[in-house]
Amino acid sequence: MVVDARTGLPVVGIVGAGQLARMCQPPAIELGISLRVLAAAPDDSAALVIPDVVVGDHTDLDDLRRLAVGCDVVTWDHEHVPGSHIATLAAEGVEVRPGASALRYAQDKGDMRRRLTELGVPCPEWVDLEPADDPKGTLAEFGARVGWPLVLKASRHGYDGRGVWTIDGLDDAADLLASGTAMLAEELVPIARELAVDVARNPSGDLAAWPVVETVQREGICVEVLAPAPALGAALESDARSIARTVAQALDVAGVLAVELFETTDGRLVVNELAMRPHNSGHWTIEGSRTSQFEQHLRAVLDLPLGDTAVTAPVTVMANVLAGGGDLEPAGLDERLATALGTWPDAKIHLYDKSWRPGRKVGHVTAQGNHRDIVRERAVAAASFLAQGDPGSRS
Ligand code: ADP
């Protein structure tokens, strides 16, 4: 262990300084662990609350090395670091968790689909559209087999629904295929609802999962998380957990793994995608579980024993604060915060100190209780009010 000479306890380096790195800081403080972040700018969300900041570029190997010096372990706030850099750091003796061989399945949807299919994990029907291998012909054959419309996805760099297109036929796909971007096609899954199961694994092989949650999506963006997923049933709960366990073990994940799932209209589960870091579907665990995903991620990447994932209330609902497009925000946020704290004294408000772009996640609100409808109404109203000054606009 490197350990911080000031504390005698470990130092965790985090590449990226968004809200995920930021939310690791409270549990790091509690455990006495020091964090060090690689931030693109000194006013990044996590750089505002973590004193040890390296300003640099996550695609620059030397900047990554500057972060790694003095860290026990390096982990990720996002999946955009080139795999070759991660492998180089590991070869130079840096503990990177999760490592390049696991992270590639969260970086590339084609690699992920191939590997999950090999493992027998249920996925939508899919096909690779290699730019070099007659993608148009492959797509025509695939469309004839699974039917139109279907879904095209860029293999890399998608988020919040960017890089996902529903297309009605070959003509619709022409421009996308001509762009030369690596893509895959998937059947259009008949989705009843979207779910997620989050699990943590440490390098010793210990696993701990949280209950399966429902992620409510609007225009490709997660707007609410309902924990636990309403009326899921024991069989699907157990299937989802078993998928998460299989993936975490087979891919040798260290840290938090989020498995996004579709529940189909005929009652099956299929995997949508994977994230190997704390994830929006797990923000509810800050208040809703004995151990939050952020604390668990730190424990897991340091190969410490994992914490208890028992829930703290029958129902927890998290609603994202999504920056609107008007001229209200963020001007007046201080007043809206004061009003929200007074109106919903039981709700827990988290703001990320991020700049406001339309649709961007700039905070979240968590509410808890016994009755889902009431809890949900309060979380959504507070989040809408913080975003737009109007508690009713999203309910
Ligand atoms: P991103 O990486 O941008 O988050 P996702 O792969 O999660 O993209 O897809 C974004 C959204 O598009 C999903 O939440 C889901 O609503 C929809 N979607 C993705 N794949 C499919 C599919 N095969 N069938 C139906 N809808 C899909």
> What ligand 1 atom has the least distance to the C-alpha of 262?
15
What pTM value is reported for the model? 0.96
Number of other residues whose CB lies within 10 A of the CB of residue 230: 12
Burial 266-279 (b: 16+ CB within 10 A, else e): eeebbbbbbbbbbb
How high is the pLDDT of residue 1?
A: 64
Residues belonging to the chain: 395
Residue in 80, 111, 272, 320 to alter for ligand 1 test, most ligand atoms within 8 A of Cβ: 272
Which residue matches tokens 């996550």?
A: 58
Q: 3-state secondary structure string, 260-298? A: EEEEECCCCEEEEEEECCCCHHHCCHHHHECCCHHHHHH
Which residue matches tokens 């409510």?
A: 216
How high is the pLDDT of residue 278?
A: 98
- 3-state secondary structure (DSSP) of residue 341: helix
> What ligand 1 atom has the least distance to the C-alpha of 191?
25
How high is the pLDDT of residue 218?
A: 92
- 3-state secondary structure (DSSP) of residue 217: strand
Quick one: which H or E segment has residue 321?
A: strand 315-322
Q: Could you tell me which residues come within 8 angstroms of residue 157 by beta carbon, excluding any fewer than 6 positions away?
A: 80, 163
**Joined tokens for residue 143:** 């469309």
Ligand 1 pocket (Cβ < 6 Å) reads 124, 151, 153, 158-164, 186, 188-189, 191, 194, 217, 220, 260, 272-273
Per-residue pLDDT tens, the chain, 395 aa: give them.
Answer: 667 899 999 999 999 999 999 999 999 999 999 999 999 999 999 999 999 999 999 999 999 999 999 999 999 999 999 999 999 999 999 999 999 999 999 999 999 999 999 999 999 999 999 888 889 999 999 999 999 999 999 998 776 667 899 999 999 988 888 888 889 999 999 999 999 999 999 999 999 999 999 999 998 899 999 999 999 999 999 999 999 999 999 999 999 999 999 999 999 999 999 999 999 999 999 999 999 999 999 999 999 999 999 999 999 999 999 998 665 557 789 999 999 999 999 999 999 999 988 889 999 999 999 999 999 999 999 999 999 888 865 54
- 3-state secondary structure (DSSP) of residue 349: strand
- 363 to each of 18, 22, 203, 390, how far by Cα in Å? 11, 12, 31, 16
How high is the pLDDT of residue 160?
A: 67
Q: What is the CA radius of gyration of the chain?
A: 21
Q: 3-state secondary structure string, 131-200? A: CCCCHHHHHHHHHHHHCCCEEEEECECCECCECEEEECCHHHHHHHHHCCCCEEEEECCCEEEEEEEEEE
